[in-house]
Amino acid sequence: MRAIMVHEHGGPEVLTLTDLPEPEAGPGQVVVRAEAIGVSVVEAHMRAGILPIPLPAVLGVEAAGQVVAVGEGVDPALVGTAVAGVTGGAGAYAEFAAMPVAMTAPIPAGVSAVDAVAAGAAGAVALGLIHKAALRGGETVLVEAGASNVGGYLLQLAREFGAGRILATAGAEGKRELARSLGADVVIDHRQDGWTAELGDAIDVAFESIGGASARGVIEALTPGTGRMLYYGRLSGEAPAITPDDLLGRGATLVGCSGPAWFAEVFTVRYPEVFARLADGRTKAAVGLTLPLADAAEAHRLVESRGVTGKIVLIP
């Protein structure tokens, strides 16, 4: 099968199209013949070594297609069904990918593999975050990187789940316009130094995905005593530069949204929920563009240029 491998961390040019044997389904796994493969900044960070992975490896986290084989302990009736899923690490930039069955969900009739990949994991994470936030009616929320995949789905969901005022951040004007169209009342350009000064001091819930130095300014903008920060990403490549004393002085709560327990809920509960929402139109998939699998390096250049809005999807 054709697969995109990484032998050493580096720029997009380290992505190499290779011929490999098809993977076998291990215990608890299914093998999926991919029809659509997701590309995100996470894999760019894995490729670059910001989120190091054991090498050499077939890069890639998320794919959708048809189950062609099941491993020990998996219902053989799954063969032939359409699913989307994540590998739990690497292996998705290929014609066939092995995935834990627990990290897959059936794709309902009427939802394409491309839409399932565009909205699946990002939408499920956004749903997980919105449930975790347990918004009280009318609360003010901040969605950082509101034109990112997860950020965009958070904006689609926030009002429905009880948010009052919605602030978002985004880069170029086109991205800021998108964040407004998805429901943000105020959109701040997060490329400007000191952008957190525009937040005021009454953010009830901040969905923190940028990390780095700006996170302290976000803590300082939380509603004293009740404000909470849900930390789920570090687009800047750096962990939030905050200390326990930043929380102490504000009476703020920091909620970590990653790790095995988090992903168990995201994939067993929220993944099917997002597909049900796609099927009945409550959630809209945001597809940026599709490219052939062989153009994975170009896909990474585009992700890193921050010029594409919506998910980049590779087609094997």
Q: Could you say which residues in the range 179-218 bind ligand NAP, by CB under 6 A?
A: 190, 209-210
Q: Cite the DSSP H helix spans in 5-159.
A: 41-48, 113-133, 149-158
Cβ distance to ligand NAP smaller for residue 36 or 170: 170
Of 26, 88, 171, 272, the one binding ligand NAP by CB under 6 A: 171
- DSSP labels, 23-62: PPP-TTEEEEEEEEEEE-HHHHHHHHTSS---SSEE---E
Nearest to 227 by CA among 253, 249, 209: 253
Cβ distance to ligand NAP smaller for residue 96 or 232: 232
- Residue 125 makes contact with ligand NAP by CB under 6 A: yes
Cβ distance to ligand NAP smaller for residue 83 or 178: 178
Cβ distance to ligand NAP smaller for residue 67 or 270: 270
Q: How far is the CB of 31 from ligand NAP (least distance, A)?
A: 23
Q: Could you say which residues in the range 295-314 bind ligand NAP, by CB under 6 A?
A: 303, 306
Angle of the 41-48 helix axis to the 296-305 helix axis, nearest 10: 100
Q: How far is the CB of 68 from ligand NAP (least distance, A)?
A: 26
Q: Could you say which residues in the range 236-295 bind ligand NAP, by CB under 6 A?
A: 236, 257-258
Cβ distance to ligand NAP smaller for residue 23 or 240: 240
Nearest to 157 by CA among 309, 270, 236: 270
Cα–Cα dist 270/258, whole Å: 14
The stretch among 87-95, 142-150, 158-166, 194-202 that binds ligand NAP (CB under 6 A) is 142-150
The stretch among 27-35, 39-47, 65-73, 276-284 that binds ligand NAP (CB under 6 A) is 39-47
The stretch among 34-42, 73-81, 87-95, 132-140 that binds ligand NAP (CB under 6 A) is 34-42
How many amino acids of this chain bind ligand NAP (CB under 6 A)?
27
Block residue for tokens 């999926």: 32
The stretch among 10-18, 76-84, 85-93, 165-173 that binds ligand NAP (CB under 6 A) is 165-173
6-32 burial, b if ≥16 CB within 10 A, otherwise e?
beeeeebebbeeeeeeebebeeebbbb
Q: Are 163 and 193 in contact (CB under 8 A)?
A: no
The two tokens of residue 96 are 């066939």
Of 40, 87, 156, 283, the one binding ligand NAP by CB under 6 A: 40
User: Sign of dihedral through CA atoms 169, 173, 175, 178?
Assistant: positive
47-81 burial, b if ≥16 CB within 10 A, otherwise e?
bbeeeebebebbbbbbbbbbbebbbeebeeebeee
The residue ranges that bind ligand NAP (CB under 6 A) are 40-42, 122, 125, 145, 147-151, 170-172, 175, 190, 209-210, 232-236, 257-258, 303, 306
